[in-house]
Structure 1
Amino acid sequence: MAIYKTLFADLTKDKYSLIRRVLIAFLFVLTVINVIIFLSWDSFNKMEANEKMVQHTHLALRNFEILRSNLIDAETNYRGFLITGDTSFMSAFKASRDSMEHRVKQLDTIVSDNPRQLLLLDTLKKDIQKRVNAFSQSLDQETSQASSKESYAIIYQSQRLLDQMGAIIDSAEKEENVLMKQRNKEQEAATHQTRITIIIFTIMVLSILLVALVTIISELNKRAALEELLKSVLDASPSGIQSFQSLRNHTGKIIDFRLLQANKTSYDLLPSLPRALEGKTMLQLYPENLKDGLFDKYVNVVETGVPINIEHSSQSEKRKKWYHIIGAKLGDGFTITITNITESKKMKNDLENSMNALRRNNKELEQFAYVASHDLQEPLRKILAFIDRLRSKALSSLNEESISYMDRISIAADRMRTLINDLLTYSRSGKEEAELKEINLNVLLPQILSDLEVIIQQKQATITLESLPVLDAIETQMRQLFQNLIINAIKFSSPNRLVKVLIRSEYLKSITGNIITKDQLNNDSSCRIYVEDNGIGFNNQYAQKIFQLFQRLHGRSEYEGTGIGLAICKKIVSLHHGTIVAEGKPGEGAVFIITLPLHHLVSSEAISHMEETSDLNG
């Protein structure tokens, strides 16, 4: 289910990523367009302002030219009147004078933003006023019959003022021409800048649009590939996978679900369904879901977001079928995986029936073993009892051969009794009430040595205990484990040297991990315990064989025993989720290495169940 959620999440993420990129590109293009509009508007404003300034300069030049023309016309009419005395020249002179006054007023408005031009215009106005006054004075003299010499003096003075005013007008026109050139340059620069700005930002917009188009196409291709991958994964799944969308009434209550998609396995899993599932509603496809409560569970998944993980059965015409259903919310709907577990359910039931049968057989075998051991030991007791009677009553009447036979019968009976007891011990190991508790081996091992004090003294054995761990275990089984290993080390001792046994330990990070210190212990830590001796040893090719039931490497005449002790050790270690291995060198000794977890994360009842299962499996 997780992989399908991941793929759906990738598709959703890819979708939102594409939308985000498109939105960012759109906003960027919109920003660039706004910048272009602003810069273009600013450039056009500048162009318009420059155009107005150019027109302003043209108007100033034109008025200066007209003013010059008016001055010349006034001078011409004035001289014509002086020379001819024709009053029509006087009328023309007055018209020119009035025009000059009007042009001066216009120029005063036009050049009001230029202090230099205002200064020139002010000087010009004063000169014009002087000229007009000179004209008026001359006319008065003409009227009073002034002498020609005085009139010519006035004309000469007027000419000088006219030349002076012409020079001022030339200066003003020159200033306006300079302004004209400067404003023409500014206008050309603004026009050029506007063109460059529009071209640059147009290229940028086109580039961004092109990149956005390529990105969108790439994202769509990736999305299509991901959708294809999702479809192939869904179709390859052994489980049926279906996605549904909620259908709600006007109050918002879910009244049905519409199937959005179904993988190929859905059709194989439910062959009775129509070939075209998509678009149909759940109650059209599975009307029984409403009756058996499955529909309400799906509604709860959508409304609460809590997934379901259930086993559901359906009755077909032929037989009852079981399905494992996992459902999870997806948008305003949900996705389910449906797995046909009919066969596994049948196998589980068959296995449970077999387990029950095995438990019954195991209990019967336990009863049989108890009865058999009791019934077998009873004849042995009688055999040994009659042997003892023969020894006490008829020993003197028996010959040496008969006594030898009687001894051999007694030894065989003792060996038979030992074998029966060892078998009972092996079958009962793990049968007692399993009570896990904290066992301090530094306390338990000295107690075991105390119990074995007689055999240790007889063999003059030296048992050395180093620091040992504290672990969770069943005390009786730990006692039996180390007792068997110590007895084994003493039994298979070398006749050429005194027995020495060393028991030491080390801590591990885990059951198969590296060696650590005591300060680094945690709940997963384990311990490794070594039981080393200097006995007769063995060839390592038999390292596995010695843990098998009834397996011996030496004859009974050399070393007594039944070959069950080490098998019991292996069973105890296995029940504690540990391992035991042996390494040996012929003539030098052997070492038994036990690895056990320090803590068990299972209960005592679980240990008991595992022991029972272990017995059922032989």
Structure 2
Amino acid sequence: MIVNSAKASNKVNLIIFIIAVTLLLFIAGISYKQSESFRESSGLVSHTYEVSMEINHMFSLFSLLESDELNYLISKDSAYLKTIETDKVEIEQSLVRIDSLTGYDKIQQKNIDSINKIKNKFYETLRYINFNIFTEEIDQSYVDNEIASINKYMEKISNQTDLMIAEEQRLLKERKEEYVEDSWFTPILSLVMGTFALLVMALAFYKINQDRKQIIDTQSFLQNILKTTNNVISYFEPVYNEEEEIVDFEIIYTNELIEDVTGDVALEIQGKKISEVYPFLFENGVFEIFKECIEKDKRIEYERLFVFNGKKMWFYNAAVKLGDGLTLTSHDVTKETVIKNELLDLNERLEIQNTVLKAAKAIAKIGSYEWRLDENKIRFSENLYKMLGYEPEQLLSSYKNLLLVIHPEDRKKFKKRLLKVKNKKVFKEYTFRVLNKNKKVRYFKFTGSFIDTLNKNIFLGVVQDVTVLLEDEKILKNKNQELKRTNAELESFNRVASHDLQEPLRKIQIFISRIYDSEYTSLSEKSKGYFDKISSSAERMRKLITYLLTYSRISKPESVFEKTNLNNVLQRVKEYLAEIISDNDLVINSENLPVVHGITFQMEQIFSNIISNSVKYKRKGIKPVISITAELVEKQEVPELAGLNPSYSEYYKISFEDNGIGFNQEHSQIIFELFQRLHGKNEYGGTGIGLTICKKIVENHHGYIGANGKPGEGAVFYFYLPVV
């Protein structure tokens, strides 16, 4: 109300001000015109006196000229001739002044023309007399006649002068009357104007005083609004560059609520630029909104997310141009926006879940039906129709049609189950045969639960097509039986390999040993060679059997995973390989190795096999050196780990770097395959199973093993174990 009253008062004040200014200007115009008239009439009176004086002065000059001419005629003194010429010059100057002073008066201009004509004849007579005055032929009577002519011209000049004086007297009389009238009216008009101006000033003072009170009330009202409002209200003025482009905004005013939002004190930021206080407004598009508001003079509303003191806050803002700047009203809508976003997110998740549920139902072959027990009405789901091969219009949802799709041999039992559901509200999980549209038998598993909605008794039934599951279950049972037989055979093989196959080898080795002890010295060199090969082959066969048994037992379920310190594993392997390390002058460098979740003796097998492999393929004449390092890596950093167990995100990488003979990188995977060798068995010993066992162990630990090699420079064997 106060604001509207102030606006109305401003309009009334503006109208009164315009009327007062108009009247003042009108009176001032009249007063100015009257003053100009008074000044003009006063000037005209003075001008009339000046013209009269100049006319009398002109006539006196003519009289003086006449006197000098007579003196010259009487005395014949040539000195008077100069005086006569001087008189003529002054007469000409006086006529020019009179002509200038009376240029506006046609009567006086006509009188001046007449005087000029008389003057010219007068001068001609004087010139003639002065030229012939000393001529002997001229007599006194001629001179007298000429003198009479001079008197006649002077008389005409005198008459003409009298006419001019009379004209000026007439003008003087008129101008005096105007002067008297103006001298009386001008003071009165000035008094009226002063009185009116005083009245306007008194009225203006009264209105200003009233408006001042109203402004104070309005300011108090606005201050109360600014103090009680929940909005941040600010006023900004644009800052321009030399090209008259807006480059910044100055904070002219902001209410105290700004401190609760940003922590800034209102009085401290007033007078500063937004580029100093809120530079982020140039990055989130708000500065461009301010520019558009000023340049296009339009109200702009927008919503933005801000972060003040680490807290995210949403504000609804309204920018309105006011004068040269803009007023910004900011309302905190964080709570509403969070709720709105949560609802949107919830709706999106519900939509996704519905889509996923539909897809899941289709993939899992699940349908449903809604049975309203009180009304005995049933409604089939869309996916149930698809599972039966019908379109909705081909099989209406009803209790009768539900019984109709059940296999005739199962129908009686199914009907009995539904009756139990209706009477006792109990339903267990049952599987029945159904007939689809093509009369093919399918196995459907029925289950469900009761829902109380609006006091309505509803049973929600869930149906799943388990035909494939039952068939797969049957196949799985057969395969399990086959697997049991295979496992039994494998156990038999292990027993044979561990006892029956190794027993003949032990006997061969025992008998060869006895031959060596008794008859070896009497054998020929060729026979000795044969026995050496038999002994070597028997030993190699024993190792093959041992490694094969080890390989087959790696994934045994009785193996126990535990915390395994790889530093301790390395120490035990060094002790086990002490003779090999000493014989080959092997140097093993290692850093602090991690503790992993694994099978201890299998970790020892990996370390032993990789170290033995590096020693086997050392370079001749080069002291073998093996460096063992460990590092922690992220799964996404190693492409080879992408297909492994998704439960693990971090892995330990254990690397063994040697300076042996190396290998071509193209063989980096072949060397881990069973019985694969890059060199002949006579060139380098070994069974071709050691690295395969390492691969089997690493895979058993959900890891990955690989190798890099360069011929003649060495190789790096590495494996990854998950961090558990």
Provide the TM-score with structure 2 as the length reference. 0.43
Please tell me whether Structure 1 or Structure 2 has the larger radius of gyration of its CA atoms. Answer: 2
Provide the TM-score with structure 1 as the length reference. 0.50
